[in-house]
Amino acid sequence: MDDKVTIARRVALELREGDLVNLGIGLPTTVARYLPAGVTVHFQSENGIIGMAPVPEAGLEAEFLTDAGGGYIGAVPGAAAFDSCMSFGLIRGGHLDVTVLGGLQVDELGQLANWMVPGKMVPGMGGAMDLVSGARRVIVAMTHTAKGEAKVLKRCTLPLTSVRRVDLLVTELAVIEPTGEGLVLRERAPGVSIEQVIAATEAHLIVPESVPEMAIGAAV
């Protein structure tokens, strides 16, 4: 299974019936494809809609219905559109159940850095700081390493997105839960050993007696 598919499929299992969910642009967006059958969640796009649906077929694009990346989207019956204050009021006010974001680094405090690399890449934080500070549950979906460099670190070296501890980190190797005691290794990807996860991780991992494989099955 492709690494990104592994991550997206595992994250999808975290979504619960009725949740309001915000998926970041890129990998997190693909989580929507792997929702378990029978689970209905409501997708928010922070540019101002609840009820976003997949890109419609060619020719049916609505000129003024787009996601936060500017791409065309659809809308479910019962969708609601609103301004940016309402959109972030929902996020900051604790009304957003889950946000799934990409990450550059996560550390032993569970803090996330995902919005800039000083001197190299300064895209701006967009809605990320509000999402990480405000969502009820923050799930980071990222590759475990980048070009061989660890991304799960003792302390983030890049500027933080928020001082808030994220709730879950899902990579192609593992599911890690940041806690008050540190990073707890909860699951391994299919076929991956605990030792392999530890070897790819700079941060100290707390390893419980049982670290099951992710229950994501074999294929889509």
Per CB under 8 A, 45 contacts other proteins: yes
- For residue 154, the SS3 value is coil
Closer Cβ to other proteins, 95 or 196, answer by number = 95
**Rounded Cα–Cα distance for residues 94 and 104 (Å):** 25
Using CB under 8 A as the binding rule, whether residue 18 contacts other proteins is answered as yes
If the CB atoms of residues 80 and 215 are measured against other proteins, the closer one turns out to be 80
Main-chain phi, psi angles of 208, to 5 degrees = -70, 170
Name the one range near other proteins by CB under 8 A: 39-47, 145-153, 174-182, 200-208: 39-47
Binding residues among 149-208 for other proteins as defined by CB under 8 A: 159-163
Q: For residue 69, what are its two tokens?
A: 């990346």
Query: Taking the mean position of all CA atoms in its chain, how far away is CA 52?
Result: 17
Q: In Å, what is the CA distance from 111 to each residue of 20, 37, 78, 147, 196?
A: 23, 32, 36, 21, 23
Provide the strand spans (E) within 142-208.
145-146, 149-150, 152-153, 168-170, 174-179, 182-188, 205-206
- Out of 127, 167, 185, 188, which residue is the one contacting other proteins (CB under 8 A)? 127
Question: Does the protein bind other proteins through residue 90 (CB under 8 A)?
Answer: yes
| Nearest distance from C-beta of residue 152 to other proteins, angstroms | 20
Nearer to other proteins by C-beta: 129 or 184?
129
Using the contact rule CB under 8 A, the part of the chain among 68-76, 165-173, 180-188, 203-211 near other proteins is 68-76
29/87 with CB nearer other proteins: 87
Phi–psi pair at 196, nearest 5 degrees: -60, -40
Distance CA 48, CA 143 (A): 29
Give the residue, chosen from 13, 125, 150, 206, that forms a contact with other proteins under the rule CB under 8 A. 125
Q: Any contact of residue 77 with other proteins (CB under 8 A)?
A: yes
112-113 β-sheet, strand order: 112-113, 105-107, 152-153
Catalytically active residues, by annotation:
46
User: Could you say which of 56, 74, 126, 182 contacts other proteins (CB under 8 A)?
Assistant: 126
Binding interface with other proteins (CB under 8 A): 18, 20, 42, 45-51, 62-70, 75, 77-95, 122-130, 133-134, 159-163
